[in-house]
Amino acid sequence: AAVTKPLPAYAGWKSSDALIVHSSGTLETRRSAFGTSVITPSNQLYVRNNLPAPDAAILDNRDAWSVTVEGVKNPRSLTLAELKTLGVETVATVLQCSGNGRGFFPSKPSGTPWSVGAAGCVVWSGVPLRNVVAALGGLTDGAAYLTGTGGEKLPEGVDPLSVLVERSVPVKAMDDALLAWEMNGEPLSLAHGGPLRLVVPGYQGVNNIKYVKRVAFTSAQSQARIMSHGYRMSPPGSKASPDQPSVWEMGVKSWINGPLPDKGALKPGQVQVHGVAFGGTRGIKGVEVSVDGGKTWQAAKLIGPDLGPFAWRQFALPVRLEAGTHVLASRATDTAGNVQAEQREENLGGYNNASWRDHAVTVTVA
Of the candidate residues 10, 46, 145, 356, the single one contacting ligand MSS (CB under 6 A)? 46
Of the candidate residues 39, 143, 206, 360, the single one contacting ligand MSS (CB under 6 A)? 206
* Eight-state DSSP code of residue 7: P
Alpha-carbon gap, residue 124 to 184, rounded angstroms = 6
Nearer to ligand MSS, 150 or 283 (CB): 150
* Eight-state DSSP code of residue 348: T
Q: 258-281 burial, b if ≥16 CB within 10 A, otherwise e?
A: bbeeeeeebeeeebebbbbbbbbb
Peptide bond into 236 cis (omega under 30): no
- Nearest distance from residue 121's CB to ligand MSS, in Å? 12
Q: Which parts of 162-181 interact with ligand MSS (CB under 6 A)?
A: 165
Residue 16 sits at φ, ψ, to 5 deg, of -65, -30
- Using the rule CB under 6 A, is 210 a contact of ligand MSS? yes
CA atoms within 13 A on the CB side of 247: 28
Alpha-carbon gap, residue 181 to 190, rounded angstroms = 11
Nearer to ligand MSS, 128 or 194 (CB): 194
Closest CA to 93 of 33, 173, 27, 14: 173
Nearer to ligand MSS, 93 or 333 (CB): 93
Beta strands in 129-264 (DSSP E): 145-150, 166-170, 178-183, 186-187, 197-199, 212-218, 253-258
Nearer to ligand MSS, 50 or 90 (CB): 50
Contact region with ligand MSS (CB under 6 A), list: 41-49, 78-86, 261-269, 341-349? 41-49
Cβ(304)–Cβ(34) under 8 Å? no
- Using the rule CB under 6 A, is 51 a contact of ligand MSS? yes
Closest CA to 308 of 279, 333, 332, 330: 279
- Using the rule CB under 6 A, is 71 a contact of ligand MSS? no
Alpha-carbon gap, residue 254 to 329, rounded angstroms = 9
- Using the rule CB under 6 A, is 95 a contact of ligand MSS? yes
- Nearest distance from residue 169's CB to ligand MSS, in Å? 12
- Using the rule CB under 6 A, is 150 a contact of ligand MSS? yes
Of the candidate residues 8, 71, 99, 201, the single one contacting ligand MSS (CB under 6 A)? 99
Of the candidate residues 101, 117, 202, 205, the single one contacting ligand MSS (CB under 6 A)? 205
- Nearest distance from residue 292's CB to ligand MSS, in Å? 33
Nearer to ligand MSS, 354 or 360 (CB): 354
Report helix, strand or coil for 135.
helix
Of the candidate residues 14, 192, 285, 344, the single one contacting ligand MSS (CB under 6 A)? 192
Which residues sit at the interface with ligand MSS, rule CB under 6 A? Answer: 45-51, 95, 97-99, 150, 152, 165, 192-193, 204-206, 208-211
